[in-house]
Structure 1
């Protein structure tokens, strides 16, 4: 597959259920675009907040954190103290890893998500799940779709922030 060809045009991902292919493709595309957008990005600007908007570092951490949390809910588990601590520190650049390490962490979480997708019987995609302390209702496929769409949204925001900071 060409590095410029979008994942959704590359055919199915082996062992991922058909109905989850779009989410898998979107997550893989998010990783690729994040890597491309951050080529030659000045590390000293990782936590800058241009125009009062979220930093590149925040978006990178948030991509990993929100995917982790949504997968937890899809698995019908509750968030751990470690996950709440991660959430609390997503925007904190103090003692933060490099942009490349943050990208690697996101890519690892995407690979974990794809491994999880391969275990999901399609017959369970409409099973009810609950989100957060308020136990807001959704479904397995709702959580998976949202994880992909939310990742794409933050990659778009990251692109704009990177562009503003490189200008």
Structure 2
């Protein structure tokens, strides 16, 4: 799961009450579908800092809730407001994420240098999704490299 550190960093998540942050602002249908349809409470999360000086995996977290409507879609003062979305028919969902710990930064160049991750979706050219699935094999490979 990608987050811009000026919006929510791993440090912010670790400092939040219960170390839990709602993953607001996802406005891509495919990323929303990953959250809504595939994520389960307890699933591991690679907390990835994006759009910053050094993008990469900065920590680990876990899914802390089932998907529910993102309240920012209904707030006309929010940059995530969606006038086509209604409480009766919400378009955008979120999950709560519980940060477990900060890791050493596993940078994007380092991720790209690992042959075992060559097919990882987040590393594919043109990938702009903020949420992508990670295989069990990719997870184990990353965990080995951040410890």
State TM-score, norm by structure 2.
0.25
Larger radius of gyration: 1
Indicate the structure with greater strand content. 2
Indicate the structure with greater helix content. 1
State TM-score, norm by structure 1.
0.23
